[in-house]
Amino acid sequence: MFNPTHMLISRSRETPVQLVAGPKGYWLYTEKEWLEGRDPAFELRPKLGFYCLGTPVVGFRLEPMPTTVEAQQPQTATIQQ
């Protein structure tokens, strides 16, 4: 099941990706790659940066998926006399 954990952000688009540990760093699966069972095009290597199909690329960053936190409503206590 595809469960995006991060957003891969370039100058022109934001793509939800699932980060999976790989032999040289982390693989960044898109939903299409995950569902088709293909190898991911993007890889993040520690200290070396992003790679696309084995070639270093620049202009990309990775951010955690935004989470929605519902504001908790303060509960009022009812005092019975």
Extents of the domains making up the chain: 6-64
d(CA 5, CA 21): 13
d(CA 41, CA 27): 8
In this predicted structure, the answer to whether residue 67 has a pLDDT above a threshold of 90 is: no
The sheet carrying 61-64 orders its strands as 55-57, 49-52, 42-45, 26-29, 14-21, 6-9, 61-64
In this predicted structure, the answer to whether residue 75 has a pLDDT above a threshold of 70 is: no
Confidence of residue 71 (pLDDT cuts 50, 70, 90): very low
pLDDT value for 33: 96
d(CA 23, CA 51): 14
Q: What is the pTM of this model?
A: 0.75
Q: Averaged over 2-23, what is the pLDDT?
A: 93
